Structures are given as structure tokens and as C-alpha cells.
Structure 1
Amino acid sequence: MGRISGLVPSRFLTLLAHLVVVITLFWSRESNIQACLPLKFTPEEYEKQDNQLVAALCLTLGLFAVELAGFLSGVSMFNSTQSLLSIAAHCSASVALSFFVFERWECTTYWYIFTFCSAFPAVTETALFIAVFGLKKKPF
């Protein structure tokens, strides 16, 4: 039981670390948007890239809400498989998004990080919601 109890705070901290990096990215997205554009770009091109990145960041925040709801409601808090998946995904996302911010990676890279590090854990969290509330199964 000691190993599982260590997963709960680790999962919470990696979720928060990922959330902090995403919020930081909201504030400093201009340099990443410029990295996506050619040297000479129009305001319309900038606006389009900005809208795409803001949409991706908003989707990420929505998926955070799903994961935090499942975690804080207890549906997946003690599920070791979901915890390990979430820890790995959000830790990877925190590191990758830190590089995304500091190294000014292209905007298309964000979608890969989003898919593997935000969408996949949220889908598994949703599956746990369905199993617990819809099928009345134990979450662990």
C-alpha cells in the first residue's frame, strides 16, 4: 500500500506542473507563434496561428478539468494504472512544454504533445468515469 500512496501526491504534483507550464505558455506564446511563421508574415497569418495555439491551449485546459474532476472526486485517485499513466504523461508534457517555451518550437509540435500528454490521459480518465458511474465497477 505504501507504493500506491506515493502515486497520489506524485500525480497531483505532475498535473499541477503541467498546468503551470500551460498557463505560462498562454502568457508567452508570441515567440512560439513567430517561430511558426516565415520571416515576413502578414497580420492575418499571425492571427491565424495565434487562434490555433489559443484553441489548443484551451482544449488542454478543458482536458485538465476532466482529469482533475476524476482525480479529486476519487474515481481514479487510487487507480495505480491511471496514476502511472498520468504521471508519465504529465511529467513528459511538463518537460516538453518547457522546451517548447524556451526553445521556441513550432506550433505544430504542440499538437503532438497535446495528443500524447493531455488527450490520451483524459480519454482513459473518461473511460474510468464510464466504468465507475455507468457500469458501476470499482475504479481499482
Structure 2
Amino acid sequence: MSVISSLVPARFLTLTAHLVIVITIFWSRENNVKACLPLQFTEEEYNKEDIKLVIALSVTLGLFFIELAGFFSGVSMFNSSQGLLSLAAHCSASICLSFYVFQKWECWTYWFIFAFCSVLPALVELVLFIAVFGLKKKPL
């Protein structure tokens, strides 16, 4: 099996693993929200941090949609550079988010994981998508 053909299933599996962990955090975010707050917190502080985390997780799911659309449409499925970037980013995200859940990391750490492991590959995916479909001119 060549390196490029083995990137496709590995990329799909790491994307799926990252997606599953994000959905799991969505369902069980109470402990992570409490880890962001002082010991004596008010309901208002809890709701504020909860909304921030829900927004971050929702945007992450939107970025998954962009990446999966590019992957399944074939735009970046066999692009080795995007495959390697996506594989590294989503594998790192899966590991870091596992620690985020089990070790109850602070909420601000999610934003770093979000920026490097979700935004970066989604932006490259958008650039590839625009490069493939945006440059085609329709005849008059």
C-alpha cells in the first residue's frame, strides 16, 4: 500500500476520532465548565463559561462540515499535503481533547486546540476548494 493511499483512511479515522471527542465534550461539558470557574462560582458565571464553550464547540462542528465536504467531494482526498496536515492536526486534537476531558483542563486551553487543530486544516481545505472550483470560468 503506497503512502498516499494509506493517508486517506488514516485521515478519515483521525477526523472521525476528533469529531467523536467533540460531540462527547458537547454532551458532558459540565465538568469542564466547572474546571474554568473558581470554587465559589455563581450561576451567572457558570452560564457565561458554558455559552463560550458551546460556541467554540459549535464552530468546531461547522469547521468539520467544511473539511468533510472537501474530503468527500474529492477535492482534497488525494492531496498528500492536506492529508498530512489534516492527519497531524486531528490526531493531535484527539489526544489533547482526551486530556482536556479526563484531566479537566481549563476552558481557555480549548481555544488553542481549536485554533491549531480545527481552524488551520479547515482554512487550507477552503483554499483548496476555492482553487479547484473558483478558478473555473463558465463560457459565455
Paired residues, number: 136
Question: Structure 1: any 5+ residue segments left out of the alignment?
Answer: none
Mapped partners of 2:79, 2:38: distance in 1: 46
Q: Which residue of 2 aligns with 1:57?
A: 57
Question: Structure 2: any 5+ residue segments left out of the alignment?
Answer: none
Compute the RMSD of aligned alpha carbons.
Answer: 0.8
Q: Which residue type is aligned with residue 68 of structure 1?
A: L
Mapped partners of 2:113, 2:58: distance in 1: 14
Mapped partners of 1:54, 1:39: distance in 2: 21
| TM-score, structure 2 normalization | 0.95
Mapped partners of 2:42, 2:12: distance in 1: 42
Q: Which residue type is aligned with residue 25 of structure 2?
A: L
Q: Deviations over 1:81-115 (max 9, x none)?
A: 00000000000000000000000000000000000
Mapped partners of 2:135, 2:127: distance in 1: 10
Mapped partners of 1:73, 1:43: distance in 2: 44
Mapped partners of 2:78, 2:64: distance in 1: 18
Please report how far the alpha carbon of residue 28 of structure 1 lies from its aligned counterpart in structure 2 after TM superposition: 1.3
| TM-score, structure 1 normalization | 0.95
Mapped partners of 2:135, 2:110: distance in 1: 35
**SS of match in other structure, 1:132:** helix
Mapped partners of 1:3, 1:105: distance in 2: 35
Q: Deviations over 1:51-108 (max 9, x none)?
A: 0000000000000000000000000000000000000000000000000000000000
**SS of match in other structure, 2:82:** helix
Mapped partners of 1:62, 1:89: distance in 2: 16
Q: Which residue type is aligned with residue 128 of structure 1?
A: L
Q: Which residue of 1 aligns with 2:115?
A: 115
Mapped partners of 1:39, 1:128: distance in 2: 46
1:21 aligns with 2:17: no
Q: Which residue of 1 aligns with 2:77?
A: 77
4+ runs deviating over 2 angstroms: none
Mapped partners of 1:104, 1:4: distance in 2: 37
1:97 aligns with 2:97: yes
Please report how far the alpha carbon of residue 135 of structure 1 lies from its aligned counterpart in structure 2 after TM superposition: 1.8
Taking only the aligned residue pairs, the percentage that are identical comes to: 71
Q: Which residue type is aligned with residue 127 of structure 1?
A: V
